[in-house]
Amino acid sequence: MTKVLIAEDNAVNRELLRELLEIRGYTVFEACDGQEALQMIEQTQPDLLLLDIGMPVLDGFAVVRKIRENPHLAKLPVVAVTAYAMRDDREKILGAQFDGYLSKPVNSRSLTQELDRLLTQRDDRNAPNQLHEGPADGKARAAGNSE
Ligand code: MN
């Protein structure tokens, strides 16, 4: 069961994302502003966060900053979801500790690509021995066996 938290203040956009995610078998949680997003992360322990930039209380930039300040959440994949289409905004977003970027209206194929990319990275980190071979992994395996 892979859990995705949607943080988005617009109800129509939340519903669209929920439908796209549920069709693909993800378990979906929702937050309507940045403060609620931080609370829901604690409560639901999502595998990935889709984070709107323009939100009341705390915007997406503030939320991702708080996430990266928390050692327990530092590796949570966070995808910015925004209508900001300007090149400068895109670069600002990619420089702000997000792992990915989706522009609104979110298209199904882009969403799938981002989820596959980021959730596969996460799985690699959790299970390095299954996927790689070589001297470095030999060491890792030996270290694991000695524990
Ligand atoms: Mn918004």
pLDDT, tens digit, 9 for 90 and up, residues 39-49:
999 999 999 99
Please tell me which residue, 126 or 10, carries the higher pLDDT value: 10
Ligand 1 centre from 9 Cα, in Å?
5
Ligand 1 centre from 10 Cα, in Å?
6
| Beta pairing class for 100-103 and 78-82 | parallel
pLDDT score for 87: 64
Ligand 1 centre from 101 Cα, in Å?
15
Q: Average pLDDT of 35-58?
A: 96
Ligand 1 centre from 119 Cα, in Å?
24
Provide the residues around ligand 1 (an ion) whose CB is within 5 A: 9, 52, 54
Listed in sequence order, the residues at least 6 apart from 53 whose beta carbon sits closer than 8 Å to its beta carbon are 59, 60, 61, 80, 81, 82, 84, 93
pLDDT score for 90: 72
- Read off the CATH number of the domain in which 102 is found: 3.40.50.2300
List pLDDT tens digits, range 123-147: 655 554 444 444 444 444 444 444 4
CB 12 within 8 A of CB 37: no
Ligand 1 centre from 49 Cα, in Å?
15
State CA 20 to chain mean position distance.
Answer: 15
The closest of 105, 57, 55, 110 to 83, measured between CA atoms, is: 105
Domain count across the chain? 1
Domain carrying residue 104: 3-146
pLDDT score for 85: 62
Ligand 1 centre from 131 Cα, in Å?
39
Cβ neighbour number for residue 116 with a 10 Å cutoff: 11
